[in-house]
């Protein structure tokens, strides 16, 4: 009889092998885990299962896992088997896809080895929440698949409850060497009865569509498949062919996300953010299309449109008497390398009759930390001399030195979301952000925390002394036309707000 422990060891070996690690390494990993968890006796029981799994795998002539279709092939095959069983037994099955949010950023920041550890720990946590007959799949790039074993009377309510438990399991802190990671996952699911057809492809594609919808509303969103959902984002090659046309036709639009003061709740500005309104996939996130524009050399064209829209927004708010102090605009490395950048900004500000201090320039910390480009340095310094405040975006991700902060005349640090997540519950996060705020205070720099999602995070940041915040917990990005109503509703909620006593030190 195969025990749950033996199944878990064999499953981990199979997952390692599926990621195209050498089979010997998968066997070594399984052996080490077996000895650590269950002792030598369990190892001796697990080895025959692992060797059998290796032998069976070697007999299959499978193509290299080079794209999404190939990586998902084992899951699709398992779905087909499961659907066959449901036809015979009158039972139901379901598929769930989980995508670790910002997995590419996590990999870039902490390295491939750390990303692999996150995946393995995530698989272990999910396995503990599932039945022995349920199946888990590592689909690559931070995506995990779950296929539920056929069960009588499976309905959407219990499936959504399971999805919430899986999401909560992945949200628990992950110890990684000397640091603690907080991850979240977006989740899409579909019952076999809700799929467009009773085929493996239809059920998998429905899950993929639901996951795409969750990511649009994420991070950490859950969506069940519905017939009216937008199709998933086209593959990168197709997107690359469309994005230039979309830019020319004005379908790359500007949305705005508010920033507020933690002392008073008053609106202190908006950040201008690019969005792509795709005709079939709906809104496409910047992470999917900005690299394509950069590769095609079109970032300056987008930047010109974003600048015009940001200044137009300030004029609109002024015309409506809404008293919005400023708008933040992200500048790409390509834009910053343009030697005529300061003159262009000065011309546009003068044309719109707007003072420079109302246009905040946001520059990624990773850009200034590694930049040896004198043009970038001169441009940022020139914009600062004009009166444009300089925000150092995603602070904490790029190892910018104090000398760099001085050299680029930084006005404000925008603390990266990775330091904000669960700060109300995690003492390590509190100490890290407290240190950043203390340094900023001594250097005379303002601070803004990004990615604030809960009231608890907002309260802790205010107590620690972070002056400004933005994130889904305040408001999601919105089109310019929606901002007046949001501003009015937000200000209507504000009464006399007592100043929050801040922690010292």
| pLDDT per position as a tens digit, 365-387 | 777 766 556 888 899 999 999 99
495 domain residue, yes or no = no
Q: Residue 20: which region, alpha, beta or left (left: phi > 0; alpha: psi -120 to 50)?
A: left
CB 134 within 8 A of CB 147: yes
Q: Tokens 């689909």 label which residue?
A: 139
**Mean pLDDT of all residues in 467-471:** 97
**Mean pLDDT of all residues in 130-134:** 94
State which of 61, 76, 98 marks the end of a domain.
61
CB 384 within 8 A of CB 405: no
| 102/118 same-domain check | yes
Candidate from 59-68, 103-112, 305-314 with smallest mean pLDDT: 59-68
How far, in Å, CA of 91 to CA of 184, rounded? 32
Q: How confident is the model at residue 495 (pLDDT cuts 50, 70, 90)?
A: low
State which of 61, 76, 93 marks the end of a domain.
61
What pLDDT score does 7 carry? 44
Looking at mean pLDDT, say which of 156-160, 170-174, 232-236, 342-346 comes out highest: 342-346
Does the pLDDT value for residue 303 go beyond 80? yes
| 12 three-class SS | helix
| 172/205 same-domain check | yes
| 203/345 same-domain check | no
Q: How confident is the model at residue 499 (pLDDT cuts 50, 70, 90)?
A: low
Inter-CA distances, 106 with 103, 341, 418, Å: 5, 32, 9
Q: How confident is the model at residue 58 (pLDDT cuts 50, 70, 90)?
A: very low
What is the separation of C-alpha 83 from the centre of its chain, rounded to a whole number of angstroms?
Answer: 32
496 domain residue, yes or no = no
Higher-confidence position of 280 and 146:
146
Q: Which DSSP helix (H) or strand (E) runs through 112? A: helix 112-129
| 136/33 same-domain check | no
CB 175 within 8 A of CB 228: no
Q: How confident is the model at residue 145 (pLDDT cuts 50, 70, 90)?
A: very high
**Mean pLDDT of all residues in 342-347:** 96
Does the pLDDT value for residue 395 go beyond 90? no
Does the pLDDT value for residue 228 go beyond 80? no
Q: Which domain holds residue 132?
A: 62-224
φ, ψ of residue 172 to 5 degrees: the values are: -65, 145
Q: Residue 269: which region, alpha, beta or left (left: phi > 0; alpha: psi -120 to 50)?
A: left
Q: What is the pLDDT of residues 7-30, one digit of tens each?
A: 444 444 444 434 433 333 344 444
How far, in Å, CA of 27 to CA of 17, rounded? 9
What pLDDT score does 294 carry? 86
Does the pLDDT value for residue 231 go beyond 80? no
CATH code of the domain in which 397 resides? 3.20.20.450
Residue 115: CB atoms within 10 A of its CB come to 20
Per-residue DSSP letters for 235-292?
A: PHHHHHHHHHHHHHTT-EEEEEEEEEETTT--EEEEEEEEEEEETTTEEE-HHHHHHH
In the chain, the number of structural domains is: 3
What pLDDT score does 247 carry? 86
| 3/73 same-domain check | no
| 140/265 same-domain check | no
Does the pLDDT value for residue 359 go beyond 80? yes
499 domain residue, yes or no = no
What pLDDT score does 373 carry? 61
**Mean pLDDT of all residues in 274-302:** 84
Does the pLDDT value for residue 174 go beyond 80? yes
Angle at 466 between CA 449 and CA 435, to 5 degrees: 95
| 282/405 same-domain check | yes
What pLDDT score does 371 carry? 56
What pLDDT score does 62 carry? 41
CB 94 within 8 A of CB 148: yes
| 159/44 same-domain check | no
How far, in Å, CA of 410 to CA of 441, rounded? 13
| 322 three-class SS | coil
Does the pLDDT value for residue 306 go beyond 80? yes
What pLDDT score does 289 carry? 85
Candidate from 32-36, 221-225, 258-262, 279-283 with smallest mean pLDDT: 32-36
Does the pLDDT value for residue 2 go beyond 50? no
| 148/171 same-domain check | yes
Per-residue DSSP letters for 365-428?
A: HHHHHH---HHHHHHHHHHHHHT--EEEEEETSS---HHHHHHTT--EEEE-HHHHTTTTT-HH
Mean pLDDT of the chain: 83
| 136 three-class SS | strand
Does the pLDDT value for residue 36 go beyond 60? no
What pLDDT score does 122 carry? 95
Question: What pTM did the predictor assign?
Answer: 0.68
Percent of the chain with pLDDT over 90: 52
| 194/157 same-domain check | yes
| 341/466 same-domain check | yes
């Amino acid at each position: 009889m195969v025990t749950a422990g033996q199944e878990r060891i064999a499953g981990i070996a199979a997952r390692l092998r599926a990621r195209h690690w050498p089979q010997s390494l998968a066997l070594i990993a399984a052996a080490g885990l077996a000895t650590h968890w269950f002792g030598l006796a369990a190892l001796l029981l697990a080895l025959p299962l692992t060797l059998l799994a290796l032998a069976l795998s070697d007999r299959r002539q499978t193509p290299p896992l080079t794209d999404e279709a190939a990586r998902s092939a084992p899951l699709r095959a398992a779905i087909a088997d499961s659907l066959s069983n449901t036809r015979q037994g009158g039972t139901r099955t379901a598929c769930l896809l989980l995508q670790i949010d910002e997995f590419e950023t996590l990999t870039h920041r902490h390295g491939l080895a750390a990303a692999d550890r996150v995946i393995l720990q995530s698989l272990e946590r999910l396995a503990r929440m599932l039945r022995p007959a349920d199946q888990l799949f590592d689909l690559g790039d931070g995506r995990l698949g779950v296929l539920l074993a056929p069960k009588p009377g499976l309905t959407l309510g219990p499936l959504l409850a399971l999805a919430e438990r899986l999401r909560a399991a992945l949200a628990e802190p992950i110890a990684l060497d000397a640091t603690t990671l907080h991850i979240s996952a977006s989740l899409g699911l579909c019952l076999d009865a809700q799929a467009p057809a009773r085929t493996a492809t239809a059920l998998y594609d429905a899950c993929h569509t639901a996951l795409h919808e969750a990511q649009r509303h994420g991070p950490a969103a859950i969506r069940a498949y519905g017939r009216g959902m937008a199709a998933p984002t086209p593959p990168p090659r197709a997107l690359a062919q469309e994005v230039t046309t979309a830019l020319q036709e004005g379908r790359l639009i500007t949305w705005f996300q508010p920033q507020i003061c933690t002392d008073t709740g008053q609106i202190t500005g908006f950040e201008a953010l690019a969005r792509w309104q795709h005709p079939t996939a709906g809104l496409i996130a910047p992470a999917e299309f900005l690299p394509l524009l950069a590769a095609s050399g079109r970032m300056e064209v987008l930047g010109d449109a974003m600048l015009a829209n940001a200044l137009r927004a300030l004029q609109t708010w002024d015309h409506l008497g809404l008293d919005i102090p400023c708008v933040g605009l992200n500048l790409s490395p390509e834009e910053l390398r343009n030697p005529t950048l300061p003159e262009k900004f000065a011309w546009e500000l003068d044309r719109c009759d707007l003072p420079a201090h109302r246009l905040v320039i946001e520059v990624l910390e990773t850009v200034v930390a590694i930049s040896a480009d004198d043009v970038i340095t001169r441009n940022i310094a020139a914009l600062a001399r004009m009166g444009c405040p300089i925000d150092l975006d995603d602070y904490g991700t790029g190892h910018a030195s104090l000398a760099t902060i001085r050299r680029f005349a930084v006005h404000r640090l925008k603390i990266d979301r990775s330091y904000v997540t669960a700060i109300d519950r995690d003492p390590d996060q509190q100490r890290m952000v407290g240190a950043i705020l203390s340094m900023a205070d001594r250097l005379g720099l303002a601070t803004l925390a990004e990615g604030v999602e809960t009231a608890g995070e907002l309260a802790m940041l205010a107590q620690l002394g972070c002056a400004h915040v933005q994130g889904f917990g305040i408001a999601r990005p919105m089109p310019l036309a929606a901002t007046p109503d949001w501003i009015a509703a937000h200000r209507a909620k504000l009464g006399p707000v007592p100043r929050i006593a801040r922690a010292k030190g």
